[in-house]
Structure 1
Amino acid sequence: MKLLVFSDSHRANITDMLALIDEEKPDAVVHLGDLVSDVEDIHFVYPELPVYNVRGNNDWGDDETPNSMVIPVEHVRLFLTHGHLYGVRRDTKRLVEAARAEGCQAALYGHTHRAEIHQEDGVLVANPGSISRPYTAEPPSYLRLTIQGDAIESELVYLKNTKKKRLWL
């Protein structure tokens, strides 16, 4: 199963998200917050595509969208959150603890606008960066997850660039 993971679109890059969905034809999309309203556009254009999303720190007034969620994909459980409630600007320790407590093999988060993938205490930790406003010199980015059984291939993909970073779990 292939998932595209976006975060921190801030209503600035819905066009690229839609184009990537057209190009990559994922089985599902994940949006890790900021802004949840962008998910409405994805649902409008792709009403049959499963889209999972969580609320970010800039999603004010949205009491219906959860701050975090767990989704099962094949034999893997993914912990989704924006990250601001787990202190991810400092480190990912609390995030990993929360994912492990939920029996998850991966923790996906946003908030920092910095793309990264690493393993921590047996958990794949991945941030797709910002699809519209990265805080680094890197171009906008997203995460491609391919899950087969209990194997996860995670790949950071940068727009307008061939740079990619992969990690398997």
Structure 2
Amino acid sequence: MMLKASTVTTLPARKGVRAVARSAALPVPVNKRAVLVRAEPESSTSAEDPSVKLQKQAEEVLKQVQGKWESTDDSEKPAAIAIIVGVIVAQIAIGATIDAVDKIPIVNKGLQLIGVAVTGLFTYRYFTDPAERESVKKSIDAFVKSVTGEK
């Protein structure tokens, strides 16, 4: 939903006068004058609002998750919950570790340099030789097919 802002009144600039907005759609006193700012939705020209589309996608995902959960055996549900909790805890720990290492000045720059060097080496090695390019393309295609379930 697009919003357009319009003002009710335009005031001339004066020396020594400052306006401070306190809240949207409330008059703000400026030297005994008031300015009213109002936001209105523009008429939507698209067929479907992006928020409606996102909500539909979220509902579809929720239905898929509920279907998978219902199809899971009762004996496997505690293990699934334990795995999910373990992944969340591991992500938090990994994030904290990366933040701690990132704050060390020399290590941070060194790791960035290593990353650039490895990327450059990979690019040079696999994209300059046509046979290697084909090998990488086949490997990526095989991975995509295994993920999507195509044969």
Aligning the two structures, in what range does the TM-score lie when normalised by the shorter sequence? under 0.3
TM-score (norm 2): 0.17
TM-score (norm 1): 0.16
Q: Flag the structure with larger Rg.
A: 2
Structure showing the higher helix proportion among its residues: 2
RCO higher in structure (CA 8 A, sep ≥6): 1
